[in-house]
Amino acid sequence: MKPREKLSFIGVPMDLGGGLRGVDMGPSALRIAGIEEAVNGLGFAFEDLGNVPVPRPERRQPRNEKARFLTEIAHCCARVRRQVERALDEGSMPLIVGGDHSIAAGSIAGVSSWYHKRKEKIGLIWVDAHGDMNTPETTESGNIHGMPLAAALGYGAPELTGLGDLTPMVSPENTVLVGVHSIDDGEREMIHKSGIKAFAMRDIDKHGIHAVMEEAIAIATRGTAGFHLSFDIDGCDPVAAPGVGTPVDGGLTTREAHIIMEDSALSQAMVALDLTEINPIFDTCNKTAELARELTLSALGKRVL
């Protein structure tokens, strides 16, 4: 697969999907960290498509406490889908920057639908501390940022599962969860029920991140046109990424996170990238956005030698 030589930045200042404010500033934080100049420095063209409009939560009341702000999130994800498809139409790789991880329901809908129109399918590698496999029936919080992976696999609210041209958006046999180390009982059951491959931090500790990524990429590219990489920055240990809304100790080291991106680049099979849950309110000197910038460069093929 020929790598795309242009990156389209799609900001999604979504903070309706979680319980804490601040992730709406994630796209701005990454821009301030110099993402455009850094990408240009690698020889890639860079297009900033601006921010997808998102309603402010203080002006809304959730109608359903088991799926808070579902209607607003679904409408926003539909806009994300259109922006993603536009980028792919123009021969660009979409970089979708959140905002909370609920936005991935829209980005995956866009990528999977674009390839579906060409009679192809995609794989999915989901990097996260959490499973994001809840549904309105299993959730303990009602926060939709804990539901998008389930939605991509066809489980949950129809407003989310039906965002794309096909349901499920991705096949479980081509879907991999990497780095999980904080899940609830409902998610654990759903992971087993769905049949996706999941690598917990224990697996990474035992086998090493490179071996895990080799297997993950093999799964995600088996019979597909490539894979969508959805990277929640809270999958990194808080030492590396303090600026997230739901930090969990024991996550990926900086080097492990870079290897995920480097191996994705070397595969030449990554077709889109999400970076979510950057929260400047909890950050130190924009450290987390700067990490996200450097991870993006690794995903585009930056090398030391």
**Per-residue pLDDT reduced to its tens digit, 28-54:** 999 999 999 999 999 999 999 999 999
Among the listed residues 232, 256, 263, 283, the single catalytic one is 232
Question: Over the chain, what is the mean pLDDT?
Answer: 95
Per-residue model confidence (pLDDT) at position 106: 98
Among the listed residues 101, 181, 228, 258, the single catalytic one is 101
Q: pLDDT tens for residues 195-216?
A: 999 999 999 999 999 999 999 9
48 counts as catalytic: no
Residue 58: is its pLDDT beyond 70?
A: no
> Are 19 and 65 within 8 A, CB to CB?
no
Residue 60: is its pLDDT beyond 80?
A: no
Residue 295: is its pLDDT beyond 70?
A: yes
Average pLDDT value for residue range 118-122: 98
Please state the separation of Cα 194 from the chain's center in Å. 19
> Parallel, antiparallel, or unpaired for β 45-51 and 6-12?
parallel
Residue 238: is its pLDDT beyond 80?
A: yes
Q: Token digits for 181?
A: 């180390």
Residue 2: is its pLDDT beyond 70?
A: no
Task: For the chain, give every domain's residue range.
Answer: 6-299
Average pLDDT value for residue range 252-264: 98
CB atoms within 10 A of CB 137: 12
263 counts as catalytic: no
CB atoms within 10 A of CB 291: 23
Among the listed residues 100, 234, 237, 274, the single catalytic one is 234
Rounded to two decimals, the pTM is 0.97
Q: pLDDT tens for residues 168-194?
A: 999 999 999 999 999 999 899 999 999
89 counts as catalytic: no
145 counts as catalytic: yes
Give the whole-angstrom CA distance, residue 240 versus residue 234: 10
Q: pLDDT tens for residues 139-166?
A: 989 999 999 999 999 999 999 999 999 9
Among the listed residues 72, 130, 187, 258, the single catalytic one is 130
Among the listed residues 24, 72, 100, 128, the single catalytic one is 128
Per-residue model confidence (pLDDT) at position 115: 98
Residue 143's identity, in one-letter code, is N
Per-residue model confidence (pLDDT) at position 304: 74
Superfamily of domain 6-299: Ureohydrolase domain (3.40.800.10)
Helices in the chain by DSSP H: which ranges?
26-32, 35-41, 70-89, 104-116, 148-152, 158-161, 185-194, 201-207, 209-221, 254-267, 287-299
277 counts as catalytic: yes
228 counts as catalytic: no
Residue 248: is its pLDDT beyond 60?
A: yes
Per-residue model confidence (pLDDT) at position 63: 74
Per-residue model confidence (pLDDT) at position 20: 82
Residues 6+ apart with CB under 8 A from 203: 212
Residues 6+ apart with CB under 8 A from 235: 127, 128, 129, 178, 179, 251, 252, 257
